[in-house]
Structure 1
Amino acid sequence: MDRLTEMEAFATVVDQGGFTDAAKKLGLSKSAISKHVASLEARLGARLLNRTTRRVSPTEIGLAYYDRARRVLNDAGEADALVTSMQSAPSGLLRISVATDFGVNHLSPILGDFLHEFPDISVNMVLNNRYVELISEGFDMAVRIGDLQDSSLRARKLAETAKRMVGAPSYFQRHGRPTRIDDLNDHKLLHYASPASGSAWRITAPSGEKRQVRTAGCLSVNDGQSLLNACVAGLGIAYLPAFLYAPAMAEGRVVDAIPELPLETQGIYAVYPPGRFTQPKVRAFIDFLAHAFAGKGPKDW
């Protein structure tokens, strides 16, 4: 007899507490279940079940065998599901969490292409600047920027972005250009308000030393685009990712505040819950993003 069939019959008898209920569960006759279990016990040379007129329970050896057998059966079920999943067309609702700045500027413009390519998928994209718990909050995946806090999630790097201090030429004409980190104490700094980042910029000096610069200034806002707008208007210096400032820099509306400093970079990642296999809709979107952002960054946005 098939070894997996014998194991499944035995494990189901233990799960259901008897041969009759196990037969109903598997859609087989009670005699067929009995034959499978008897064959298994004969092959192993051990009694796995205690049988009485009222109940069936595993022996000590049977309980130990059950734990391993159930693991094998679960793995076999996942293997079957993986093959089915990989052959099925991506479909269903895809819930995505994305930081507002990146979502508005870089995901929204390409979502239409994705939905045209995969018409059986619908997308619910939530834009916010807080850290979301993917599983407990019901998200399929997220796009995150910077160091990944949760090592239990699976991640795929999509691109990199530089992060620089930038200001408008008009601001530097009025207030002068800083030449070193300490000069920032004499300038107006535009602060990104976030519990995660605090009120300090963490900057790498030419020596490689990590420095902190306090950023309490004339403006504090939890939106990168608003900071860029204030920067372009000449209100001060902002510390922004290239995916936000790159177009304004290319047009000369902002310039690098201290070009001599080392280039700071951040990774941009697709993160999703751990598991033996990835849902087709999630895999399709991550592959789409990887293709869309191929060759992007750190400064080329």
Structure 2
Amino acid sequence: MDRLTEMEAFATVVDQGGFTDAARKMGISKSAVSKHVSSLEARLGARLLNRTTRRVSPTEIGLAYYDRALRVLNDAGEADALVSSMQSDPSGLLRISVATDFGVNHLSPILGSFLDEFPDITVNMVLNNRYVELISEGFDMAIRIGELEDSTLRARKLTETTKRMIASPAYFQKYGRPQKIDELNEHKLLHYSSQAGNAVWKLTAPSGEKRQVRTAGGLSVNDGQSLLNAAISGLGIAYLPSFLYAQAMADGLIEDAMPDLPVEMQGIYAVYPPGRFTQPKVRAFIDFLVHQFAEKGPVDW
């Protein structure tokens, strides 16, 4: 006889407290339930149930087996549900966390195409510049830029962006162009104010040495587009990713402040909670993003 069916019959008898109610629950005859349980006991060489004229209860061994059997039956049910869900069309609410700069400039313009392709999915995109806890805060996935801190999450790389110091030609004409990292202390520096540590720029010198430059003072803004606008208007030097400044540089509105420095590269990732399988709606969106960003970055945006 099938082992799972024997387990199910036994577990149902324990749950229902007898063979009659178990048979009704399983939709089979009482004698069939009894045969499944007897076959299980014979195969295991142990009595799992105490049978009296009034009631049926598990033996000590039967109770221990019942606990394990429930796990097996639950796993089997989840496996069946997994196959069904992976074959079903992606649907449901998809909650996404993404940094404001990237979300506004590069996700918002393409969401319409995604929703047209997957009409059964609804999207709730939350724009913020803080690190969110995906599971505890109820997010299905997030877009993260730079080094991934949480190694327990699953991640798929979408593309890359460079990060450079930029300013307007008018700024360089008025204040000159820094030739060394140390000279940045003499310039007007613009920085993010949304997170701790953003008042420090981490740079790599031509020698490969890692350097840190404090940027306190001048102008601080909690929005990358505003920093770019400030740089374009000549207020100072900003340290920004190429997905923000690429078009402005192509239009000649800004220039690289120190082109001789090694290019800083940052990965752009889709991250999502760990698990044995990926929800169809999450998998669909990540595949969509991979296709959309296949020819984007690290400089060409």
Name 2:272's counterpart in structure 1. Answer: 272
Counterpart secondary structure, 2:171: helix
- Aligned equivalents of 2:3, 2:22: Cα separation in 1: 17
Name 2:115's counterpart in structure 1. Answer: 115
1:47, 1:59 within 8 Å by CA — same for their partners in 2? Answer: no
Q: Larger deviation: 280-289 or 204-213? A: 204-213
- Aligned equivalents of 1:43, 1:205: Cα separation in 2: 72
Deviations 1:183-228 (A, max 9, x none): 1111111011132434211112222222111011211111000000
Name 1:125's counterpart in structure 2. Answer: 125
- Aligned equivalents of 2:260, 2:13: Cα separation in 1: 72
Q: How does 1:231-242 map to 2 (within 5 A)?
A: 231-242=231-242
How large is the RMSD of aligned CA atoms in angstroms?
A: 2.1
Name 2:17's counterpart in structure 1. Answer: 18
Amino acid at match of 1:18: G
Name 1:144's counterpart in structure 2. Answer: 144
Amino acid at match of 2:155: A
Q: Larger deviation: 196-205 or 28-37? A: 28-37
Name 2:94's counterpart in structure 1. Answer: 94
Counterpart secondary structure, 1:158: strand
Counterpart secondary structure, 1:152: coil
Question: What displacement does 1:58 show?
Answer: 4.8
Name 2:251's counterpart in structure 1. Answer: 251
1:164, 1:241 within 8 Å by CA — same for their partners in 2? Answer: yes
Name 1:46's counterpart in structure 2. Answer: 46
Q: Does 1:183 align with 2:170?
A: no
Name 1:199's counterpart in structure 2. Answer: 199
- Aligned equivalents of 2:28, 2:188: Cα separation in 1: 78
2:121, 2:281 within 8 Å by CA — same for their partners in 1? Answer: yes
Ranges in structure 2 where 5+ consecutive residues have no aligned partner? none
- Aligned equivalents of 2:6, 2:210: Cα separation in 1: 62
1:206, 1:262 within 8 Å by CA — same for their partners in 2? Answer: yes
- Calculate the TM-score normalised by the size of structure 1: 0.91
- Aligned equivalents of 2:51, 2:267: Cα separation in 1: 60
Q: Larger deviation: 188-197 or 121-130? A: 188-197
Name 2:154's counterpart in structure 1. Answer: 154
- Calculate the TM-score normalised by the size of structure 2: 0.91
Q: Compared with structure 1, are the counterparts of its residues 39 and 182 closer, same or farther at alpha carbon in structure 2 (3 Å cutoff)?
A: same
Q: Compared with structure 1, are the counterparts of its residues 67 and 294 closer, same or farther at alpha carbon in structure 2 (3 Å cutoff)?
A: farther
- Aligned equivalents of 1:135, 1:115: Cα separation in 2: 24
Ranges in structure 1 where 5+ consecutive residues have no aligned partner? none
Q: Larger deviation: 23-32 or 166-175? A: 23-32
The alignment-based identity, stated in percent, is 78
Q: Compared with structure 1, are the counterparts of its residues 51 and 217 closer, same or farther at alpha carbon in structure 2 (3 Å cutoff)?
A: farther
Amino acid at match of 2:297: G
Name 2:60's counterpart in structure 1. Answer: 59
1:202, 1:212 within 8 Å by CA — same for their partners in 2? Answer: yes
- Aligned equivalents of 2:196, 2:24: Cα separation in 1: 54
Q: Compared with structure 1, are the counterparts of its residues 194 and 46 closer, same or farther at alpha carbon in structure 2 (3 Å cutoff)?
A: same
Q: Compared with structure 1, are the counterparts of its residues 250 and 2 closer, same or farther at alpha carbon in structure 2 (3 Å cutoff)?
A: same
Q: Compared with structure 1, are the counterparts of its residues 13 and 233 closer, same or farther at alpha carbon in structure 2 (3 Å cutoff)?
A: farther
Q: Number of aligned pairs? A: 299
Name 1:83's counterpart in structure 2. Answer: 83
2:17, 2:55 within 8 Å by CA — same for their partners in 1? Answer: no
- Aligned equivalents of 1:286, 1:197: Cα separation in 2: 30
Amino acid at match of 2:58: S
Deviations 1:38-97 (A, max 9, x none): 21111122233455655623534751x445444433332232122211221111221111
Amino acid at match of 1:19: G
